């Protein structure tokens, strides 16, 4: 019988970057990008959220498949990822499988730090019930261990 630890460490799938965005100022519209520079132990270049060294929330990631689920939960088409105020959308990989792990996105090495819970702005972005629809679908936060360029189409892969 395979141990739970072995199962948790078995992650052969790779994800793919489907969307990138930064927020240039507090409450400003999220700007979609084709590529972004991740700055070691800080944030994504151009993002107003200039996290201090050691911060747990230097980058936010959401699972692309959850974007479609959110649309279904609020009774609309899948929302524009910019409305969800995350930095990177990833398709093809369960982001929760990265809990307590390091992973590479493009050239950058990130480390899972926490779940990314929704904020009250989801009621504005998604309409009534948007906050509750987003619960469990908010994605993850990560720390940037090694900076580097992240581009649309880049892979996300677990770094054992």
pLDDT for the residue 25: 85
The C-alpha torsion from 15 through 122 and 37 to 51, rounded to 10°, is -120
pLDDT for the residue 6: 86
Domain covering 13-158: architecture: Beta Barrel (2.40)
Share of the chain above pLDDT 70, in %: 99
Share of the chain above pLDDT 90, in %: 56
The least confident of 82-86, 92-96, 109-113, 119-123 is: 119-123
Domain parsing of the chain, residue ranges: 13-158
Alpha carbons 63 and 107: distance in angstroms, whole number: 19
Q: Which residue has the higher pLDDT, 75 or 63?
A: 63
pLDDT for the residue 50: 66
pLDDT tens, position by position, 104-144: 999 999 999 999 988 888 888 888 888 888 898 899 999 99
Give yes or no for a contact between 65 and 71, defined as CB atoms under 8 angstroms apart. Answer: no
Q: Read off the pLDDT band of 148 (50, 70, 90).
A: very high
pLDDT tens, position by position, 34-70: 999 999 999 999 998 766 788 888 999 999 999 988 8
Q: Read off the pLDDT band of 32 (50, 70, 90).
A: very high
Counting DSSP H helices and E strands in the chain, the numbers are 4, 10
The least confident of 15-19, 78-82, 120-124 is: 120-124
Alpha carbons 15 and 26: distance in angstroms, whole number: 29
* Environment class of 59 (CB within 10 Å of its CB; exposed 0-12, middle 13-18, buried 19+): buried
pLDDT for the residue 73: 84
Mean pLDDT of the chain: 91
């Amino acid at each position: 019988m395979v141990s739970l630890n072995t199962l948790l460490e078995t992650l052969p799938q790779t994800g793919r970057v489907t969307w990138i965005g930064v927020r240039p100022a507090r409450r400003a519209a999220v700007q979609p990008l084709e590529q972004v520079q991740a700055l070691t132990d800080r944030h994504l270049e151009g993002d107003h959220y200039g996290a201090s060294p050691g911060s747990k929330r230097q980058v936010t990631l959401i699972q692309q498949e959850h974007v479609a689920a959110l649309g279904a939960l609020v009774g609309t088409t899948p929302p524009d990822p910019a409305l969800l105020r995350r930095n990177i959308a990833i398709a093809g990989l369960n982001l929760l499988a990265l809990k307590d792990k390091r992973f590479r996105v493009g050239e950058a090495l990130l480390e899972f730090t926490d779940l990314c819970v929704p904020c009250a702005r989801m009621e504005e972005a998604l309409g009534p019930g948007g906050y509750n629809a987003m619960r469990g679908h908010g994605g993850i936060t990560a720390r940037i261990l090694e900076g580097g360029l992240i581009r649309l189409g880049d892979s996300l892969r677990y770094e054992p």
